[in-house]
Amino acid sequence: MKPKEQSAEGKIHNIKEMSIAIDTWDDIFSDFDPRPLKERTLSEDFIAELKKRYRETRKGQFALTIYAPISLKNEAQEKAVIQRLKRHFKHMSMRRKKELARIRIRGVVFVCFGIFSLGSLTFITYKHLFSTLTIELLSIILMPLGWFGIWESKIGSGLKGTGLKPKKILKIFERKHLLQATNFRW
């Protein structure tokens, strides 16, 4: 067996299956949304279940298998469901990217603010621009502000894990060999 074939075969064995059984399309989509399957809102229970399954086995690649009754078997509906799931997770991924960018910008602003505060205090102290009392009063204000800016940027710049990683779930739906009707078991 060639090394490329072995690595591809190894990757297939590393794919973990997330299986979810449904009775109706309402198990995936919101009961309150009467729109067609291509446009319906995903059920919060379905998303919560995906998050729970994802937290149980975070590492590796995933394949989502939906077990459904034979009465739901319809290739057009299956494609519509897969397209809707792809759109939902792509939207979640984009939203998360924007949130990360916003948090990082906020972190940079806080670092700059902290460095500016501490740098100003150092400069004022070194050059003796003001009286000792004024410098002491400024240090009471600028020192905590500077350290707060640096500390807050460190805390705020990293997102804690919120459970489901939309980008990883999106990859499930983008892999062609996982997009076929085999994702639905009847």
How many structural domains comprise the chain?
1
Q: Which domain holds residue 48?
A: 3-185
Which token pair is 59? Answer: 């590492």
- Per-residue pLDDT tens for 48-81? 888 887 777 666 667 778 888 888 888 888 888 8
- Per-residue pLDDT tens for 109-167? 888 888 999 999 999 999 988 899 998 998 999 898 888 888 877 665 554 444 445 55
Which amino acid appears at position 29 of this protein?
F
CA atoms within 13 A on the CB side of 48: 5
CA dihedral sign, ordered 43, 47, 48, 52: positive
- Per-residue pLDDT tens for 73-123? 888 888 888 888 888 888 888 888 898 888 888 888 888 888 999 999 999
Q: Which residues are paired to 17 by β-bridges?
A: 63
pTM, rounded to two decimals: 0.62
Q: Which residues are paired to 20 by β-bridges?
A: 66
